[in-house]
């Protein structure tokens, strides 16, 4: 049993299973511009750097916008157990 667990973890460490990926963003909070597009990224805080998360968010935003960090939550409603953090970004127009 322990050997299987170790093999599973080792196989996950070598593949893209722990790479950040897009998910459903949270709703706009009071005081935030509800008209801005929001994107969210699931990630593992121990495996992914904040630069990787921001780059994934930027890829989800339109080309003429900038991914601006808004918040992070760990509710596990939209992200799996191995990628428990959900960072929400707003796609703000470039200045």
Tens digit of each residue's pLDDT (9 = 90 or more) over 33-91: 999 999 999 999 999 999 999 999 999 999 999 999 999 999 888 899 999 999 999 99
The tokens describing 6, both together, are 């170790």
pTM comes to 0.80
Tokens 């299987």 — which residue? 4
Region label for 92, one of left (φ > 0), alpha (ψ between -120 and 50) or beta (otherwise): beta
Say yes or no to pLDDT of 95 above 90: no
Strands 37-43 and 65-73, sheet pairing: unpaired
The tokens describing 59, both together, are 């890829």
What is the average pLDDT across 11-17? 60
d(Cα 65, Cα 85) in Å, to the nearest integer? 23
């Amino acid at each position: 049993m322990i050997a299987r667990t170790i093999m599973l973890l080792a196989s996950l460490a070598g593949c893209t299973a722990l790479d950040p990926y897009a998910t459903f963003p949270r709703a706009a909070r009071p005081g935030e511009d509800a008209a801005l597009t929001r994107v969210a990224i699931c990630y593992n805080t121990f495996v992914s750097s904040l630069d990787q998360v921001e780059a994934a968010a930027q890829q989800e935003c339109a080309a003429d916008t900038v991914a601006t960090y808004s918040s992070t939550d760990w509710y596990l409603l939209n992200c799996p157990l191995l990628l428990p953090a959900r960072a929400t970004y707003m796609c703000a127009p470039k200045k």
